Structure 1
Amino acid sequence: MLFNSFSFLFLYLPVVLAGYFVLLRWRPAWIAGWLALASLFFYGYADTRYLPLLLGSILFNYWCARHRRLLVFGVVVNLALLAYYKYANFFLPGPGWDIILPVGISFFTFTQIAYLVDCHRGGNGEYRLVHYTLFVSYFPHLIAGPVLHHKEMMPQFDRPARLDMADVAIGLSIFVVGLAKKVLLADPISVLVGPVFTPHAQPQWLEAWIGTLGYTFQLYFDFSGYSDMAIGLSRLFGVRLPLNFDSPYKAANISDFWRRWHMSLSRFLRDYLYVPLGGNRHGPLCRYRNLMLTMLLGGLWHGAGWTFVAWGALHGAYLVIQHGWQALTRASAPRWWGRWLTLLAVMVAWVVFRAPDLATAGEVLQGLAGANGVSLPRGLSGLAPQLAALGWHPAFDGIRWIDAGGPALPTLLVAMVLAFYAPNTQQLFGLSMRWTPAVWRSAVTATVFLCCLFNMNKVSEFLYFQF
């Protein structure tokens, strides 16, 4: 079930909220159980085949947490299960290994690995099965994150539930912001991306740049939109999820980018991979090695493919170069061009991330450099007035993908402006989510929501569902 579907908005969510409000008044102790059942139904709605996998994972890790001598064994089993579903097709190709990836397995596996490791380090575990089930399967985050930490979430599930209309107003507002990012920005831009990353497309200079810029901002608004929707939905129940994005394309360097992009995953990789590897405690060479290993494994976490390995290697190399440069010069790059250099490096890496294979990635990168030709696509050379007015029309005799994607170009320009100049969700609502009601805010939110509904004629999955 998708957040951007009518069945979720007008059937599932109202039923879950109604049950929550009824239990809040009559049986507050049952709320955790209600939300856990609703979350399991949410996961099994599209495909019940993998619901037993989620339940088995929850029961197994709950059992391991109660028997601390088995915690290392539990981590190994979690990693083995993740490796089987995500990497068997990659490392053992063949007709007998056509394995379908369960949705959300990376997120609920990493969430439980962090929980087991913290228990092994001496942290307090959650020994009530219902609360632990809710922590792992909580539907706002289950499919595509954020990656939750039990120290942040368990106290919120454990405290007495209460009805706070400010939470409802804030939650709905944040949800609408995320829905707009997905429906009004990310989805329209997608038509500019697919044809450029088709194998053997060999895009020319303008095509390659439009497709690369399109994916850069499609991925951001798609994934940050999901994260905003998850945060907003959770706030309806008085639960605060961690922030996951903080204007990443404004980053001054690659380290800053990873402090702003997919923040919950960055924190996980730092605390449970980079630091245990040794971090920066044993000299610069070990630090560079640990950075490279962390990013390589972070790339593999996204999927089993050489493109993800190369993407992780690129970001590892970026981090090594950045820290090496700072160690040599004792200075950071000036912010005004450091931001542009960082964005360019990130875009180059996104090409590899998006491409179906390394050969296609090479073709797109050649196109960015002009190696595939720099002439305007056929049909555009005489359209300067129309381009200036953004008045592209499908009847023009341009190449097919430009014709289909012409109306999306204004959306891409709007997305770029918003990414660089508009406040992100964190800035819009404040770190403490302070929010004061006003008629104009309600009117804007309602208008944006109606615009989203009118544009939900085609339901599309979120990009991070495949990871």
Structure 2
Amino acid sequence: MLFNSYVFLLLFLPLTLAVYVTLGRLRWRWAMGWLVLVSLGFYAWWSPDPSEAWTPFYLILILASCAGNFWCGRSIAHTSSPRRRFALLSLGVGANLALLAYYKYLGLFATLLNGATGWPHEIPHLVLPLAVSFFTFLQVAYLVDAHRGITKDYNFNDYLLFVTFFPHLIAGPLVHHTELMPQFNAQAARPGRRQFAVGLTLLAVGLFKKVVIADYVARTATPLFDFAASGARPLLFGEAWAAALGYTMQIYFDFSGYSDMAIGIAYFFGIRLPLNFNSPYKATSIVDFWRRWHITLSRFLREYLYFPLGGNRRGPARRYSNLLVTMVLGGLWHGAGVTFFLWGLLHGVYLCVNHGWAAIRERAGWGPLPRGVAIPLTFLAVVMAWVPFRAGSYELSANGSAEAAWKTTHGIYASMVGLNGWESWPAKGAEIVKSSRAWRPLIAAMLIAWLLPNSQRWLGRYSPHYGPAVIAPTERRRMWQWRPTWPWMLLVLGLLYAVGREFNKLSEFIYFQF
């Protein structure tokens, strides 16, 4: 079920909220139980076969995963023997990774085996269970924390809701048990009018980002990438840059729009989810970018992979190797393909260069680069890395291949540096997309991303997300700060009107495939 669908907005969400509020007035645990039921129903609604309303197997799979991890976590927490605790942790983490590897990496393994041995092994194409990467990582973190002794004696109902709570289940944020489960009580999670007004505003902003901006920009990026993948002819210089910049804007507004909707919908129920985006394209370095982009994934990679590998405690060489390993695995978490490996490797190299430059600058006593230089340089590096990430979809598709993804990446890179022609765009002959339709929305999207305050700053005085405020107290009096007044509500209605005009062109969120 998509957040940007009529069935969700006009049926599922209002009904869920109405019953939740009613049950909350009678007995709070009933309201929490209701959230568990509707979250499981939300997950079960999805089916890989369009002819079927739902597939019970995947619901059974996530329930079995939750039950097994809950048992394993409690067993670790209640066992005093260090050897037995480690054995249980290994069992739990191994089972989670085996599930993820079976569905996500079996095809890659078969491809590599065929290439290494020359044997004609059949390459299986398995349907990836919805959100398997997200709920697997949530539970791995829970097991590791149980081994560290920092989990509490939660009940299964709260644990199941922590994993399956429908606003974050499909594409994050990657919540931590210490953030979410303490909110599952009457004092912390009883919604009111303020929560509804703030939640509706965030929902409207998220829908506008997805339906009006991301999907519109995709009408430029997608045909250009598809044309490059077809091999009919190389893209020209302008076309290649339109494709790369288009996808850069598409994925930001698509994913941050989803995160805004998730935070807003959760806030309807009086529950705060952690911040996942904080204007990443305003970053002044790659390190700063990863503090702003997919913040909860960055936290997971840092705390459960980079630090256990040794972090920066064993000298520069070890730090750089740890960064490379962490980012490559982060890339492969998104997809089992050579281009996702390349995306992770690029960001790993970027981070190594960033830390190396910072060390040189500190020794030389130089100041930081001016923002007018640092922001465009960082943005350019990010744009270049998005090219193989987008091309990875041609490898993940049922009839795709690593060769097609790599050729698409190589071809667009060559075009971006002018190796395939500098002719004016559009070229002679049939246009791939109209140039006027391509550049005007692209420029508008970039201006919005760079010049306007993000949604969390706009609503900063109400702190709808979990965690520290993103604005200083002095900013709360500024004119652009949202307030529950009629002028601001008219703006929200205007956003919803614009969304409604585009609602006949529904599309999935990009991160649904991960």
- Fold match, TM over 0.5? yes
For residue 66 of structure 1, what is the aligned residue in structure 2?
A: 74
In structure 1, the residue matched to 2:117 is none
User: CA shift at 1:359, angstroms?
Assistant: 1.5
Query: How much has 1:409 moved relative to structure 2?
Result: 3.4
Equivalent position of 1:265 in the other structure: 297
Work out the percentage of aligned pairs sharing the same amino acid: 51
Shift of 1:29: 1.9
Residue of structure 2 equivalent to 1:147:
174
Deviations 1:209-250 (A, max 9, x none): 111110000000000000000000000000000010011011
Partner of 1:175: 203
By how many angstroms is 1:261 displaced? 0.3
- Identify the residue that residue 129 of structure 2 maps to in structure 1: 102
Of 382, 387, 399 in structure 1, the residue corresponding to residue 430 of structure 2 is: 399
- Which shows bigger deviation, 84-93 or 415-424? 84-93
Pairwise CA distance, 1:32: 1.1
Secondary structure of the structure 1 residue equivalent to 2:423: coil
> Where does residue 114 of structure 1 map in the other structure?
141
Query: 1:195 is paired with a residue of what secondary structure?
Result: helix
Q: Which residue of 2 aligns with 1:409?
A: 439
Task: Work out which of the residue numbers 380, 405, 411 in structure 2 matches 1:344.
Answer: 380
Within 2, Cα distance between the matches of 1:420 and 1:342? 13
**Aligned counterparts, 1:104-253, within 5 A:** 104-160=131-187, 161-198=189-226, 199=229, 200=231, 201-253=233-285
Which residue of the partner structure matches residue 323 of structure 2?
A: 291
Q: Using the alignment, how far apart are the partners of 1:65 and 1:345 within structure 2?
A: 41
1:378-436 CA distances to partner (integer Å, 9 max, x unpaired)?
46xxxxxxxxxxxxxxxxx8633223x74353222211100000001121111724863
Alignment of 1:272-421 (within 5 A): 272-330=304-362, 331=366, 332-355=368-391, 356=394, 357-378=405-426, 399-403=430-434, 406-421=436-451
**Residues of 2 paired with 1:337 and 1:33: CA distance?**
52
485, 495, 505: which one pairs with 1:458?
505
Whichever residue aligns with residue 186 of structure 1, its letter is: A
Q: Deviations over 1:291-349 (max 9, x none)?
A: 00100100000000000001100010111111112212324433221111111111110
* TM-score computed with the length of structure 1 as normaliser: 0.93
Q: Give distance in 1, aligned partners of 2:370 and 2:110.
A: 47
Name the CA distance, whole Å, in 1 between partners of 2:438 and 2:14: 33
Distance 2:384 2:153 in 1: 43
SS at 1:311 equivalent = helix
- Please say which of residues 201-210 and 259-268 is displaced more in the overlay: 201-210
Letter in 2 for 1:361: T
In structure 2, give the amino acid aligned to 1:360.
T
Other structure's SS at 1:320 match: helix
Q: CA separation in 2, counterparts of 1:74 and 1:125?
A: 18
Q: SS state of the match for residue 401, structure 1?
A: coil
Matching residue of 1:12 = 12
Q: Does 1:76 align with 2:99?
A: no
C-alpha contact 2:36 2:164 (8 A) present in aligned 1: yes
2:485 corresponds to which residue?
A: 438
Kept after mapping to 1: 8 A contact 2:110/2:123: no
User: How much does 1:159 deviate?
Assistant: 4.1
**Aligned residue identity for 2:68:** F
For each residue in 1:61-82, what CA deviation from the matched residue of structure 2 results, as whole angstroms up to 9, or x when unmatched? 0110111032231011111111
State the distance in 2 between where 1:126 and 1:368 align. 55
Structure-1 separation of matches of 2:300 and 2:253: 22
Instruction: Identify the match of residue 428 of structure 1 among 448, 453, 458.
Output: 458
Deviation at 1:279, TM superposition (A): 0.4
Q: Which residue of 2 aligns with 1:391?
A: none
Aligned-pair RMSD on alpha carbons? 1.6
